[in-house]
Amino acid sequence: MSKLKVVSEKSLTNNSRVVGLLAQLEKISTEPTESDTARYVTSKILHLAQSQEKIRREMTAKGSTGMEVLLSTLENTKDLQTTLNILSILVELVSAGGGRRASFLVAKGGSQILLQLLMNASKESPPNEELMVQIHSILAKIGPKDKKFGVKARINGTLNITLNLVKQNLQNHRLVLPCLQLLRVYSANSVNSVSLGKNGVVELMFKTIGPFSKKNSGLMKVALDTLAALLKSKTNARRAVDRGYVQVLLTIYVDWHRHDNRHRNMLIRKGILQSLKSVTNIKLGRKAFIDANGMKILYNTSQECLAVRTLDPLVNISSLIMRKCFPKNRLPLPTIKSSFHFQLPVIPMTGPVAQLYSLPPEVDDVVDESDDNDDIDLEAENETENEDDLDQNFKNDDIETDINKLKPQQEPGRTIEELKMYEHLFPELVDDFQDYDLISKEPKPLVFEGKVRGPIVVPTAGEEAAGNSGNFRKGVVMKENVSPLGDEGDKKPSFMDLAKEDIKDNDRTLQQPLAPGFTAGMRKDYSLPLTVVTCSKACPHVAACGNVLFEGRTVQLGKLCCTGVEIEDDEDTESASSVEQVSVEVSDGPTLHDSDLYIEIVKNTKSVPEYSEVAYPDYFGHIPPPFKEPILERPYGVQRTKIAQDIERLIHQSDIIDRVVYDLDNPNYIIPEEGDILKFNSKFESGNLRKVIQIRKNEYDLILNSDINSNHYHQWFYFEVSGMRPGVAYRFNIINCEKSNSQFNYGMQPLMYSVQEALNARPWWTRVGTDICYYKNHFSRSSVAAGGQKGKSYYTITFTVNFPHKDDVCYFAYHYPYTYSTLQMHLQKLESAHNPQQIYFRRDVLCETLSGNSCPLVTITAMPESNYYEHICQFRNRPYVFLSARVHPGETNASWVMKGTLEYLMSNSPTAQSLRECYIFKIVPMLNPDGVINGNHRCSLSGEDLNRQWQSPNPDLHPTIYHAKGLLQYLAAVKRLPLVYCDYHGHSRKKNVFMYGCSIKETVWHTNNNASSCDVVEDVGYRTLPKILSHIAPAFCMSSCSFVVEKSKESTARVVVWREIGVQRSYTMESTLCGCDQGKYKGLQIGTRELEEMGAKFCVGLLRLKRLTSPLEYSLPSSLLDFENDLIESSCKVTSPTTYVLDEDEPRFLEEVDYSAESNDELDIELAESADYETSTQEEVLSDSDSSRTYLP
């Protein structure tokens, strides 16, 4: 205790001493005659500051006046030694305290005083060397902490003082070093950089740097850092190019590379590369780099550095420079417009489609437009200090700030008379059910909504199976038959009527399809059906090979292997039983897949290319594999290895085969006959692959087709490969992707379906591929073709695959395919299998699409208990839930989630029955049939993103949106506003499943306008459903949800239904394309089982929502809802801001790749995050390494 007391007394003594000295200094600083005393006092303070950290803390502590006293004395004293003492004290204070103390000195006005001191000191001839060293040293430390430092330095005229000092003292390294450090700080300001360049700073730097030397390496390092900063100015970069300095830099780099055997001067070598990186930001610099053989030099040196891990920064910067200087090429296509053309009924006057139709043919030519102007440098003329005035707080300009626009305003939009056209789609509001065979004819007490009711009695499958097939559809299905089978639909009981099986009342909610041949009671049959069925519609496009299934309009399966299928006869029993076991685990209802029915439906599906083939995966069907598929951990450095291989194409051009092996644009191309060349095909529903070029023996460049009536949106792919050999690593490069980042960089794998595996009882899509990455490539397009955005580059998805079987037929896809014909098949099977006494099911046609396909509309609810008035009233008064999906064709996961929802709603479980009794579901399961059929990624045949057309849809160009919005407007007009609207989407750059909703309060909160936020009164019920889902759905992540309304999303379904229709709970539900990083599925890629489960859990969430929003909570048996009553807080107040997704959901890569030199990510504002991709539109910097983990060698 006494020891502590002594220590504290000593500290107090020292603190009191420095306080006393500072007080004494303050007193004498105003008296010039006291210079000796000032010297003594400042030397004592310096001694204390040098010896004790506590003194340094005391002098820079909040509320301390020590810094003001020192600066005041420095400003007023004429004594050199006193000045030097104070400067030394300041150096001590800022050197040990990090950035905080430097910022403290800046806040006290230190930079202005020191700059003035530098100005005054320079007037002496010659200036005092020690004084100059000290001033420059401390200014170099505090300059980066002063936002206005560049302006202050220029106004004080100190730029040339420092520059002249260096010119006059090149051999005085002690003085030159701090001067160069300060020049580097000056150069951070572009205007200063240009000004210094005019006075010869670039030439001066090249006098300072030189070839390998063991002396003055510290000076060399600082000079190179300064040069790299200076060359960021286009003016200085051009000056360096004009004087031949690019060649000089390369020569110096090679010299240091050769002599730095022990790698002790890695920072100097990095500095040279940083200077090359800066100078190659301009077109002249890139040309000079190529002319100086820079590609080969950096390629060879970087390959030699690969063996030493510590030299990774050199490899990465070299890679970036080479990629930037790789000559920009146009895609090897006749046009970047889609291969397919569809003539629109109406050509829009404005917008991307109007621009596309007015484009001249030469717009596909690539122009390197990275420089705005090579002759005029506006930097020097425009001296606005944009970088000095940056708001440190992030501000997203896309957030809607107008309160009046945010407030929901129910706008009818169309008159009641116009909306009457939708009456026939709501027969449930007027039907009296007098002609129906209902469950009960006995009158029962009327049970109003919200009143307590007893347990739900569900009839068994046996009770309803007898004799009901005759009136299966009586009054339940629309009057006009929408079955693609036409009149033959009722003649195929095997398709339409499935025997019901007793279904256990368990918690399983998913009903997965089984593969053909594996359903209970069916004979296993591995052979392909070759039944010939005639069809009157002829099709001119008939493939030359394949198993023909139809004559007339030929619809055929792709070819099988020539050598026969490898049937695993000895494992038949085991394989079948394993699949059956899997099916038992995931299914509690009838299979929804029927290969023969699928073929029948395909015949009536209208595509622009008039597809005549059926892909095997769509024919066989898919069941989830019985194993987990973890998120891929990729090896360290895979991206730079792939980039190096791309650069080899330029350096070793003779090694490149460059042979076209598939081409949609040239129907007469000759398919190579060599046995070791892969064969490709995409001429089937939802297929997308435009061209394939063989690059090396086992490497292929693949080019995707644009969306029809568009010249971009390349991301979705689905194609067939055959002719492979096992044990060979094939590399595929999809070279015309457009998004600036992808989950392929974070562990996602593409999907593959093997026909031989399917024939051997494994009919499933699996995640495959190694060495996967996604990066910017050297292909580009002109600014006109890119919609006015200059320098638009494409991105590459690259992956390597080893095929398991010889001469197999395999399919690759971006995500699990789900075609329009698959949807129609599933709806038909659901309709044929349901119990009409229990389930009210209707399948209507909402409208026809541009190409003449029907857009299905499904209505699901519970049948009334009887046709007595009370039960009919209860039936009609159920609130509506409106669901939609697949507005973006490439987001196939949305369809799998919707499949889970539909199957759950049609299941026989008590919770499903209870849910049907609570709500009437209106569902548009596919808002963009044409886009899905034709393999588009984002648009419909109109070439527009339909989820940006909800504000004012055109009935001729956007019929599905126009009529879906009309249904909602009709419900609003008849005062039957849906309780929930949800649009299912997929997300390509985030993990998990999450929701976007609409909130005025949270939107205003994100504008940092707290006053406005406090004035907003809002029901926070919009958070209830997401909160419920976060508790019951393992893939759902509440922290990824956002309820902010952005300007760029004002014409999306979610915002329009909220603002114009008045639905408070209007959502977009986004499902990842990759996998989960939280919950039960953490570390796993998502599959159809998990997606369908999410669709089912959404339904369970709606049931819970009903209990929370009803006047009195339903008294349901606790076993039906296995979660606690206090699941959701009684008041969901917004106590913290929503997690608003601004950046990637992954941390920066360790192996950083910088795209900023020719960034072109502005397209993300339009292409941004598929669906309601609610990421910020601010530029994303794509960096590359090894996911979020550190991988050690």
Query: Dihedral of CA 1092/1097/1098/1100: which sign?
Result: positive
Beta carbons of 503 and 906 less than 8 angstroms apart: no
Query: Dihedral of CA 552/553/555/558: which sign?
Result: positive
CA 252 to chain centre: 41
**To which H or E segment does residue 4 belong?**
helix 2-28
Give how far Cα 884 sits from Cα of 37, 124, 902, 964, 982, Å.
Answer: 84, 79, 11, 9, 6
**To which H or E segment does residue 776 belong?**
strand 770-781
1070 catalytic per annotation: yes
Contacts for 1075 with CB less than 8 Å, ≥ 6 apart: 631, 747, 748, 991, 1081, 1083, 1084, 1085, 1086
Beta carbons of 981 and 1067 less than 8 angstroms apart: yes
Kindly give the pairing relationship between strand 809-813 and strand 792-802: unpaired
Joined tokens for residue 527: 């052979």
Beta carbons of 447 and 878 less than 8 angstroms apart: no
Phi then psi for residue 186, to 5 deg, are -55, -40
Q: Distance between CA 576 and CA 571 in Å, rounded? A: 8
Beta carbons of 232 and 377 less than 8 angstroms apart: no
Beta carbons of 71 and 59 less than 8 angstroms apart: no
Say which residue the tokens 């069809």 belong to: 535
DSSP single-letter state for residue 598? H
Joined tokens for residue 494: 């095997």
Phi then psi for residue 464, to 5 deg, are -100, 0
Joined tokens for residue 1181: 């910097």
Joined tokens for residue 552: 């007339």
Q: Distance between CA 373 and CA 337 in Å, rounded? A: 29
List alpha helices for 383-533, DSSP H: 403-406, 416-419, 461-465, 493-496
Beta carbons of 183 and 217 less than 8 angstroms apart: no
Plot region of 863 (φ>0 → left; ψ -120 to 50 → alpha; else → beta)? beta
Name the amino acid, one letter, at 148: K
Q: Distance between CA 861 and CA 60 in Å, rounded? A: 72
Kindly give the pairing relationship between strand 533-535 and strand 792-802: unpaired
Task: Order the strands of the 547-548 sheet from edge to edge.
Answer: 547-548, 556-557, 613-614
Residue 320, classed as helix, strand or coil, is helix
Phi then psi for residue 996, to 5 deg, are -115, 130
Catalytic residue among 464, 1070, 1090, 1092: 1070
Q: Distance between CA 418 and CA 424 in Å, rounded? A: 13
Beta carbons of 999 and 1011 less than 8 angstroms apart: no
Beta carbons of 1093 and 1080 less than 8 angstroms apart: no
Q: Would you please indicate which residues are annotated as catalytic (active-site) residues? A: 1070
